[in-house]
Amino acid sequence: MQLDKDSILAANGSLHNHEADFNHLAEKLSRSHTDVEALVKKIADFQVAVPSWALGAGGTRFGRFSFHGEPATLEQKIADVGILHALTQTAGAVSLHIPWDVPTDYAAVKQIADQNGIVFDAINSNTFQDQPGAKLSYKHGSLANTDEAIRAQAVEHNHEVVRIGEKLGSKSLTVWLADGTSFPGQRSFQKALAQTEKSCKEIYAGMPDDWSLLIEYKPYEPNFYSTVIMDWGTSFMLANACGERAYTLVDLGHHLPNSNIEQVVATLMAKGKLGGFHFNDSKYGDDDLTVGSIKPYALFLIFNELVYGMEHNPQNPDLAWMIDASHNVKDPLEDLIQSLEAIQEAYAKALLVDQKALAAAQLNHDVVQCQEILQGAYRTDVRPLLERARLSRGGALDPLGAYRTLRVREGLIGERGKHTVATGL
């Protein structure tokens, strides 16, 4: 199933209210000398990768409730991303997970991606599960394992993932390392760290010269006492040890309670070491909820640092953006539409922050005014800007509404049947 521009156009219907809203807002913003056209252009250009595993229903350790019309093949997953991109015009990339998504026919897969306007962003390895027929088990760790043969198997898996990614046009490898312990004493912290550093260097050495290594961190889960790469400091240390194309990747859900994530982002960008970013939201742990569904102001504050860094930190690379959420009680595609909208919204609001006025207020220690500036941007209803950005690229005025009007899920069920199950968790 592929959505064509005409049907989206038809679903959009009258633009009358949009025009009125946009014009009112544009006039308002112009008063403060905002270049509205440039703003819309920036929003329209912002693209986020969708991970292939986010297109099916997720679950918890207590089970999983089924969902209908899930994509059963890599081709179907890319088609799903294509639907999202057609509607939102902001999901122009897919992020694969190996071994769940090993292509059988590379040419065919690339063709489908091309047809849908989708490129292949960072590719992900998996050493946190045993694959059927695997020679050695990762039960007690992979890159940090005490056993050299297991570490070698895990390093080689990462190299294989890079080779697959190369054929598809990816330029970066994301390593999320679940290695850690569930009980005190289970493993030597120092040795686990040293072995992880060694394994990361081996992975890095085996990558092409134009590839980046993105090192994710996480404090806990699936290990419940310690994780080898537990925080940004550890990831940053490892990235420095690997080399200049190794970077830290921040996942919003991978932090201890009350962490100030925006400060982490600012620190990493100042040091030129923020390589990737995974979006989701959470209240308790790594809850993987829809982006912006719990703490939208925190997301805005983080985007405020991201925008600042993108404008002022040439030492930092372009970021690999990805949604990393899980969908238990919503239609995955609807959930992703909501996430994409929340990301665009936070980005647009961050772009509205008057950085010069903010810097001046900071210099004057005018704390009240600093807050006024941030909240002035945040309180602005930017939905007309997002609409305009989507329309400018042939997308939907209201992606969720169009998804329902066009009966996309029903179409997918018709094509695929009810009881397919996507590969993944």
Cα–Cα dist 167/163, whole Å: 7
Give me the least distance between CB of 275 and a second copy, in Å please: 16
Give me the least distance between CB of 167 and a second copy, in Å please: 27
DSSP character string of 302-358: HHHHHHHHHHH-TTSPPPEEEE----SSS-HHHHHHHHHHHHHHHHHHHHHS-HHHH
Q: Choose between 257 and 314: whose C-beta lies nearer to a second copy.
A: 257
Q: Choose between 98 and 207: whose C-beta lies nearer to a second copy.
A: 98
DSSP character string of 117-170: T-EE--EE---SSPPTT-SS--TT-STT-S-HHHHHHHHHHHHHHHHHHHHHT-
Q: Helix count (H) and strand count (E) of the chain?
A: 16, 11
Give me the least distance between CB of 143 and a second copy, in Å please: 16
If one counts every other C-beta atom within 10 angstroms of the C-beta of residue 103, the result is: 18
H-helix or E-strand spanning residue 221: none
Q: Choose between 236 and 321: whose C-beta lies nearer to a second copy.
A: 236
| CA-closest candidate to residue 29, choices 392, 380, 397, 360 | 380
Give me the least distance between CB of 116 and a second copy, in Å please: 23
Cα–Cα dist 347/382, whole Å: 10
Give me the least distance between CB of 201 and a second copy, in Å please: 16
Give me the least distance between CB of 391 and a second copy, in Å please: 18
| CA-closest candidate to residue 157, choices 179, 181, 173, 180 | 173
Q: Choose between 92 and 309: whose C-beta lies nearer to a second copy.
A: 309
Give me the least distance between CB of 379 and a second copy, in Å please: 6
CA distances (Å), origin 308, targets 212, 341, 361: 22, 21, 16
Q: Choose between 5 and 312: whose C-beta lies nearer to a second copy.
A: 312
Give me the least distance between CB of 349 and a second copy, in Å please: 10
| CA-closest candidate to residue 96, choices 58, 129, 123 | 123
Residues 6+ apart with CB under 8 A from 381: 25
Q: Choose between 47 and 145: whose C-beta lies nearer to a second copy.
A: 145
Q: Choose between 7 and 129: whose C-beta lies nearer to a second copy.
A: 129
Cα–Cα dist 187/253, whole Å: 25
| CA-closest candidate to residue 271, choices 237, 305, 315 | 315
Give me the least distance between CB of 114 and a second copy, in Å please: 30
Residue position matching structure tokens 């056993």? 147
Q: Choose between 80 and 331: whose C-beta lies nearer to a second copy.
A: 331
Residue 323: beta bridge partners?
A: 279
Q: Choose between 349 and 416: whose C-beta lies nearer to a second copy.
A: 349
Cα–Cα dist 22/208, whole Å: 46
- 8 A C-beta contact, residue 86 and residue 338: no
Give me the least distance between CB of 420 and a second copy, in Å please: 18
Q: Choose between 116 and 420: whose C-beta lies nearer to a second copy.
A: 420
Give me the least distance between CB of 339 and a second copy, in Å please: 11
Judged by DSSP in three states, 398 sits in coil
Q: Choose between 2 and 362: whose C-beta lies nearer to a second copy.
A: 362
Cα–Cα dist 200/190, whole Å: 15
